[in-house]
Structures are given as C-alpha cells and as structure tokens.
Structure 1
C-alpha cells in the first residue's frame, strides 16, 4: 500500500461527520521505521506502514492526536 500521498479520514463516531486531510510523503521515517506523511501545514503528521497501518504523530507540545478511522491512497 505504498503511495506518495494519502487521505486520512477522521471521525468522532458513527453519527458524526468526517474530516479528510490529504498528506504527502516527507522523506522521513517514523518511530516504527515506516514513511512519515504530512499535510501542507505540517501540523497533521502520520506514519503509514505498507499494510495501511496508521500512527498519527504529535507535531507540537500538548497536542493530543486524534485516532484515524481510515486511510486511502491518492490516485
């Protein structure tokens, strides 16, 4: 599931709406050794494995990263 970019789909619950954030490769590796992807602002950062497993990374102090519901490769 390797891609230059992904859509990260965040949701607060089954009845809540979704927030979609597009992230692209940064050229860096995360703590698990997988590529790190970031949005255009650099605030949303995620390590994504080749199996589609996502680890949202804190980009600043006091940040509480949300849980990702789904990840979709960009076409």
Structure 2
C-alpha cells in the first residue's frame, strides 16, 4: 500500500456560533514529526500536522505563540 500524500483536516467551527467547520487540505512533506510519523502541511505552511498510518493526528506549531487546535477528523485524499 502506498503512503497517503494528502489529507483533509476538518476543524470545529467557532464555539457558540452557527459557523461551519473549517476544512484544510494538507500534503505530505519530507519531514518527520516527534513521533517519527510524516509531517503534512497546507500550502501556506501555517497548518502543520504529524499523521500516523492509523490516522492519528498531532498538530504542530509552525510559529511562536501558536496554539493549534486539534481537528475532529482526518480524511485521506486520493
């Protein structure tokens, strides 16, 4: 089985509002995260995540003073 190269990460909307969920597409990079799994990032490089083969997601800060939110779902993309 070939490794997944892209994921759609779905984040919750703003609490207390009727805001829709945010979906961000991330692509695999050549980097590995602290857990040894591949790092994926969006086109801006701001959203970064380590995603295991089992689909477990660990969000990674891409800059100082950033507290990334955890997605509610990670969907592999073709």
The answer, yes or no, to whether TM exceeds 0.5 is: yes
Q: How many residues align?
A: 74
Q: Which runs of 4+ in 1 moved over 4 A?
A: none
Deviation, structure 1 residue 67: 1.4
| TM-score between the two structures when normalised by the length of structure 1 | 0.91
Return 5+ residue gaps in structure 2 as ranges.
none
Structure 1 runs not aligned, ≥5 long: none
Aligned to 2:6: 5
Task: Give the structure 2 partner of residue 31 of structure 1.
Answer: 34
Q: TM-score, normalised by structure 2?
A: 0.87
Residue 46 of structure 1 corresponds to 49
Q: Which residue of 2 aligns with 1:62?
A: 65
